[in-house]
Amino acid sequence: MMEAMALDADDRRLIVATQGGLPLAPRPYHVLAAQLGLAAEEVMARLQRLLDTGVIRRIGAVPNHYALGYSANGMSVWDVPDARIDALGEAVGRLPFVTHCYHRPRALPLWPYNLFAMVHGKSRDEVEAEVGQIAALLGAECRAHDVLYSSRILKKTGLRIGG
């Protein structure tokens, strides 16, 4: 479990004010400052601290994969030995087409897989080729694998915390 940072009431107000997005104005941090009744310098200092402590991963744009032509996305899942998973997970995570890579628990007997790697491609053939590269990298360490394609987005709102 990751260590939590202490957030005060103004940090929380800043998170609530920005979780929908950053203002599209020449001085966005000044806009937030005016909304929150804080100085712009304080808003910027707090955001920088949230970034430095990892509460904010990054500030940036999240593209819609489908709009960029990455219409195929596969959750590739792998059964690898627990004793080797960290080295294998790091190697898989370094592949350029892998956007998320995690060690997760198995749920036997239904689910034997412990390494999850999300793979994106412009076609299902491209995803299959990428999955083939992961299989080649894991070699005999992989005992079984599967690819779960997403066929429908049922909901996508992202994180929302209360005000």
Partner 1 sequence: MDELDRRIINALQGGFPICDEPYREVAEQLGIAAHELIERLGRMLGEKTLTRFGPMFQVERMGGAFVLAALAVPEADYERVAAAVNAQPEVAHNYRREHALNMWFVLATETPEGIPAAIDKIERATGLAAYAFPKLKEYFVEMKLAA
H or E stretch at 116: strand 115-121
Q: Does 90 bind partner 1 (CB under 8 A)?
A: yes
Q: Which is nearer to partner 1, 59 or 135 (CB)?
A: 59
Of 9, 109, 140, 157, the residue at the interface with partner 1 (CB under 8 A) is: 157
Count of residues that interact with partner 1, criterion CB under 8 A: 79
What's the closest the beta carbon of residue 86 comes to partner 1, in angstroms?
7
> Comparing C-alpha atoms, which of 102, 118, 117, 21 is closest to residue 70?
118
Q: Which is nearer to partner 1, 34 or 68 (CB)?
A: 68
Q: Which helix (H) or strand (E) holds 126?
A: helix 124-138
- Minimum CB separation of residue 5 from partner 1 in Å reads 5
Q: Write the binding mask 2 to 41 for partner 1: x where contact by CB under 8 A, - elsewhere.
A: xxxx-x-------x--xxxxx-xxxxxxx---------x-
Residues 91-130 that bind partner 1 (CB under 8 A): 92-94, 96, 98-105, 107, 110-111, 116, 120
Q: Which of 8, 9, 61, 83 binds partner 1 (CB under 8 A)?
A: 61
CB of 147 to partner 1, least distance (A): 9
Dist. CA 15–CA 132, nearest whole Å: 40
Q: Determine the Cα–Cα distance for residues 66 and 77; give it in Å rounded to an integer.
A: 22
Q: What is the rounded CA–CA span in Å between residue 128 and residue 131?
A: 5
Q: Where is 89: in which H helix or E strand?
A: helix 85-93
Question: Are 106 and 88 a contacting pair, CB within 8 Å?
Answer: no
